[in-house]
Amino acid sequence: MKNNVACPDVLAAWDWGGTVTDAIPYGQGHINSTYCVEVQRPGGDRRRYILQKINTDTFTDPDGLMENICGVTGYLRRQAEQRGPTPPASPCR
């Protein structure tokens, strides 16, 4: 596995539904650290996920931040459900 993530223990803390084969920096953010995690699933297909490390110097209340994100995404999900099926998600590059 190519693994450039500074905290491999973070990868081990999640059930990715397969084997992590790659975890590389993604994008050029100025506040948080973002990684693209590639997973080989038991059926043979590969999935990519975005993993983001929150900068706690900037966001001093990560629990509050996540609560806010969940509230906003929940609202957006309900709005999308009222409009009908959502378009397929784009893969990370």
Whether the per-residue pLDDT at 85 is higher than 80: the answer is no
Whether the per-residue pLDDT at 88 is higher than 60: the answer is yes
What is the per-residue burial (b if ≥16 Cβ within 10 Å, else e) of 2-35? eeebeeeeebeeeebebebebbeebeeeeeebeb
What's the predicted TM-score (pTM) here? Answer: 0.68
Q: In the predicted model, what is the mean pLDDT of the chain?
A: 87
Whether the per-residue pLDDT at 6 is higher than 80: the answer is no
pLDDT given at position 93: 61
Which of the four pLDDT bands, split at 50, 70 and 90, describes residue 71?
very high
Assess contact for 26 and 50: CB atoms under 8 A.
yes
